[in-house]
Amino acid sequence: MSRTLDCPVTRGGQRPSAGCGLWQAPLPSPRYPGPVTTNPHATASHADPQATGPVLVVDFGAQYAQLIARRVREASVYSEIVPSSMPVEQMLAKHPAAIILSGGPSSVYADGAPGIDPAVFDAGVPVLGICYGFQTMAQALGGTVGRTGTREYGHTEAKVDASSCLFAGTPLDQAVWMSHGDAVQAAPAGFAVTASTAETPVAAFENRERGLYGLQWHPEVLHSAYGQKALENFLHEAAGIPATWTAGNIIDEQVEAIRAQVGDAHVICGLSGGVDSSVAAALVHRAIGDQLTCIFVDHGLLRAGEREQVEQDYAAGMGIRVITVDESERFLSALAGVTDPETKRKIIGREFIRSFEAAQRRVIEMVGEQGGEIKFLVQGTLYPDVVESGGGTGTANIKSHHNVGGLPDDLNFALIEPLRTLFKDEVRAIGRELGVPEKIVARQPFPGPGLGIRVIGEVTRENLEILRAADLIAREELTAAGLDEEIWQCPVVLLADVRSVGV
């Protein structure tokens, strides 16, 4: 995940003035961003010059907001998504190293169109506007935005200015991906136009002295041939942010945070055998060792070899204590005669809760007999879960977790969510760094109810054996063909309730 900076950093944290000759600021701390300490003196017009916070991606309703955040992470820079409705004072209280304004479906001149307080452009924080964000910046700073009578969608050829910081190291003519009907017709005073297309004379601009940049096209999509390079130029060169968001740094900082949070208490984790819970448990185990106990419920609906992978490759190989509970008979009995898929899902969820609760009680009793106390539950929450459940609202209680893992209210465990700032690809990278077996790190997504919802019809032992064997054959053939990294998911379904004839 780590990248090497092209431009050296001088002593004292300043970049040399050669090259872009850009806006200068002290480099942010390379540490993993923990809890943000709000500066009570920060205002909308004066950001903290010692910015150590994230790159903020301001979401104007774009379908690509998460993709922008991921591309920033791929440049080894930490990013967070915030809604455009967040007051600028709150954004600046996060001490952002830079701000990126996303695209969006609105027209900047339409009634009720989302906007942003122009004070953000005078806060001393580098800003990049993309598509709608580009137009919003132009309008807020005195430029002109309007309908051109033509629309640009899809592949477009752009001509760029070689002297522009964003386009350093890229060809003068390049393929970009457009998706807009409005366009910037005149750049704000003090801005240099740095790119154009046949239909859009003002396709990019910049004001280096103020650290403000904009692109009409979408650099975050792969269709923009040099889009990632433009983002990296903004982050590393224009904003002076070092490439320090690496798997190793994340692990070190999380281990430190977990140890501080847990102390000498005990922790449990519901292990599914999937990527998220396996990596979360491995990270917590790296921090506190045998203070962690994992519970793995075998509901009889697993893929071939899945239990063995958890018990042998994962638990034994990594030295993690895993208590396996075999509840296959319980689940098969509860599912007998049931064919409706939603009913099956509810039954599986209910029985899993009961099985997990029973196992929890046994672990709690065992730890209690040893004089310990379980205070924490590990959960493999990822960043998309946080964003999609309202994490962009800026509220402290982002998501209700009272029913996670079927926990009754009176257990009152505190949560440990070491992956909640990460995307899936980052979780896999962390897993590999921790030594989680590749079979687990690279495995395809698998539904919580397991093979139970991949049997169309009644879930019987015979049907499960047929489906399990077919699923194994399909996965082995994908591996043999070298397609594991190309095909994201290949679910095998048994049509047990479908009758047909053929020749």
User: In the beta sheet, which residues pair with residue 46?
Assistant: 43
CA distances from 425 to 80, 276, 307, 432, 442 (A): 16, 11, 24, 11, 10
My answer on whether 220 and 158 are in the same domain is yes
pLDDT band at 16 (very low <50, low <70, confident <90, very high): very low
With CA atoms as reference, report the closest residue to 175 among 190, 155, 191, 160.
155
Q: Has residue 272 got a pLDDT over 90?
A: no
Is residue 258 domain-resident?
yes
Asked about 131 being catalytic, the answer comes back as yes
My answer on whether 125 and 199 are in the same domain is yes
DSSP letter for each residue of 89-106: HHHHHT--SEEEE---SS
Is residue 30 domain-resident?
no
Residue-range definition of the domain harbouring residue 427: 247-443
Q: What is the pLDDT of residue 48?
A: 41
My answer on whether 231 and 361 are in the same domain is no
Would the annotation count 276 as a binding residue? yes
Catalytic residue among 95, 180, 218, 236: 218
Q: What is the pLDDT of residue 9?
A: 29
Place of tokens 């075998």: 298
Asked about 433 being catalytic, the answer comes back as no
With CA atoms as reference, report the closest residue to 121 among 107, 136, 111.
136
Mean pLDDT of 460-473: 96
Q: Which of 170, 205, 238 is the last residue of a domain?
A: 238
Q: What is the pLDDT of residue 61?
A: 85
Would the annotation count 275 as a binding residue? yes
With CA atoms as reference, report the closest residue to 239 among 24, 451, 401, 61.
24
Is residue 501 domain-resident?
no
Asked about 80 being catalytic, the answer comes back as no
Q: Are 84 and 59 in contact (CB under 8 A)?
A: yes
Q: What is the pLDDT of residue 454?
A: 94
Would the annotation count 169 as a binding residue? no
Is residue 337 domain-resident?
yes
pTM of structure: 0.73
My answer on whether 214 and 258 are in the same domain is no
CATH number at residue 374: 3.40.50.620
Q: What is the pLDDT of residue 493?
A: 93
Q: Which of 443, 463, 482 is the last residue of a domain?
A: 443
Q: What is the pLDDT of residue 20?
A: 53
Q: In what order do the strands lie in the sheet with 212-215?
A: 79-83, 55-59, 98-101, 127-130, 212-215, 204-207, 192-196, 144-160, 173-186
Most confident of 188-192, 196-200, 378-382: 188-192
DSSP-assigned letter for residue 379: -
How many structural domains comprise the chain? Answer: 2
CATH number at residue 224: 3.40.50.880
Q: Has residue 76 got a pLDDT over 70?
A: yes
My answer on whether 118 and 175 are in the same domain is yes
Would the annotation count 262 as a binding residue? no
Mean pLDDT of 380-408: 52
My answer on whether 170 and 309 are in the same domain is no
Q: Which of 188, 212, 238 is the last residue of a domain?
A: 238
My answer on whether 74 and 220 are in the same domain is yes
Q: Please, is 500 exposed, middle or buried when counting C-beta atoms within 10 Å of its C-beta (0-12, 13-18, 19+)? A: exposed
My answer on whether 63 and 135 are in the same domain is yes
Is residue 503 domain-resident?
no
pLDDT band at 431 (very low <50, low <70, confident <90, very high): very high
Would the annotation count 500 as a binding residue? no
Q: Has residue 394 got a pLDDT over 90?
A: no
Treating both helix axes as pointing N-terminal to C-terminal, what angle do 275-288 and 424-434 enclose, rounded to 10 degrees? 50
Q: What is the pLDDT of residue 497?
A: 81
Most confident of 330-339, 384-393, 437-446: 330-339
Mean pLDDT of 337-345: 92
My answer on whether 266 and 187 are in the same domain is no
pLDDT band at 51 (very low <50, low <70, confident <90, very high): low
Mean pLDDT of 207-222: 94
Helices assigned H by DSSP within 44-143: 65-74, 88-93, 132-140
My answer on whether 218 and 257 are in the same domain is no
Catalytic residue among 20, 131, 165, 294: 131
Is residue 86 domain-resident?
yes
Would the annotation count 277 as a binding residue? yes
My answer on whether 268 and 372 are in the same domain is yes
Rounded-to-integer distance, Cα 369 and Cα 349, Å: 30
With CA atoms as reference, report the closest residue to 91 among 36, 29, 35.
36
Between these two residues, 100 and 377, which has the higher pLDDT value? Answer: 100
Q: Has residue 10 got a pLDDT over 90?
A: no
Is residue 21 domain-resident?
no
My answer on whether 154 and 256 are in the same domain is no
Is residue 471 domain-resident?
no
Catalytic residue among 220, 237, 306, 327: 220
CA distances from 330 to 29, 316, 355, 403 (A): 53, 27, 9, 22
Min mean pLDDT across 383-387, 450-454, 467-471 is at 383-387
Average pLDDT for the chain: 82
Mind listing the pLDDT tens digit for each residue in 96-138? 999 999 988 888 877 788 889 999 999 999 999 999 999 999 9
Q: What is the pLDDT of residue 371?
A: 76
Would the annotation count 273 as a binding residue? yes
